[in-house]
Amino acid sequence: MLEVRDLQTGYGRIKILDGVNVSVAGGSIVTVLGGNGTGKSTLLKALSGLIPVWDGEILFDGESIANLRPDRIVNRGLIQVTQGKEAYPAMTVEENLMVGAFTRSDKQGIRRDLDKVYDYFPALQERRRQLSGTLSGGEVQMLVIGRGLMANPRMLMLDEPSAALAPQVVLNIFANVYRISQSGVTILLVEQNVRMALLLAGYGYIIRDGRVLIEGPAEELSGDESVKLSYLGGTVASREQMSS
């Protein structure tokens, strides 16, 4: 579904990504891992059209999307949920969710997807008329994921959904990301919580200094001694907990 080939990009004259290759098959969960400043969020910004591609290719369903306008990328079904967890504080929860559907005109489909969001995140339904500025950090994360789902994504890109959240909230978020994947939405997950991400994903890439350092099936990365020593940490869970 998504192929990133020899991607180079950055900010101003500063190169952040230097020849990154990433592949995401339809229906899969793939994770991109690494510490702060390694280029993970920069990768998502390039995929979303938020920063220019200097060199390399980005193919979505075999067609180039490199340097397309962000709205055209969204219309193709490639949706990013940003790291900042931006919600509109003066709008209600449901108004925030409906912002995600602003490019759509299929009223029945919008209603169906709104019901799905409330099924994934019952707390949002309970607070649907509440101003989003009054929500907790975990509820805001649920809200921005839900808003991404309202765009009817074929592929959802999540930028560090576990950041600054309590362990039990993280477990809830990841369990619902798994459910979303099971519904047919392809997931590209950028995370610092390596342990949780490798439990969820089928394949992983570890980025350091703008390059892919290690890649492979998630179970193999979990058992790799260098990965264990350098990266494994954070919330401990099991696949059974996330799928229950």
Residues 46 and 14 in one domain: yes
pLDDT at 54: 97
Domain co-membership, 162 together with 71: yes
d(CA 227, CA 13): 32
Q: 173 in a domain, yes or no? A: no
Claim to verify: residue 11 and residue 118 sit in the same structural domain: no
Q: Which domain holds residue 230?
A: 1-77+153-166+182-244
CA distances from 135 to 91, 92, 127, 219 (A): 12, 10, 9, 36
Residue 198, classified by CB atoms within 10 Å of its CB into exposed (0-12), middle (13-18) or buried (19+), is: buried
Question: 146 and 89 share a domain?
Answer: yes
Do 122 and 233 belong to one domain? no
Q: Which tens digits make up the pLDDT trace of 139-183?
A: 999 999 999 999 999 999 999 998 888 889 999 999 999 999 999
CA 238 to chain centre: 20
**What pLDDT digit, counting tens, does each position of 68-96 carry?**
999 999 999 999 998 666 788 999 999 99
How many domains does the structure of the chain reveal?
2
Size (the chain), residues: 244
Whether 130 and 187 map to the same domain: the answer is no
- pLDDT score for 30: 98
Collapse the DSSP code of 102 into the 3-class scheme (helix H, G, I; strand E, B; otherwise coil) and give the result.
coil
Residue 171 resides in a domain: no
Q: Summarize pLDDT for 9-66 with one digit per residue, the tens.
A: 999 999 999 999 999 999 999 999 988 888 999 999 999 999 999 999 999 999 999 9
At residue 31, φ and ψ (nearest 5 deg) are -120, 145
User: Quick check: 139 and 124 in contact, CB under 8 A?
Assistant: yes
- For 66, the token pair is 């490199």
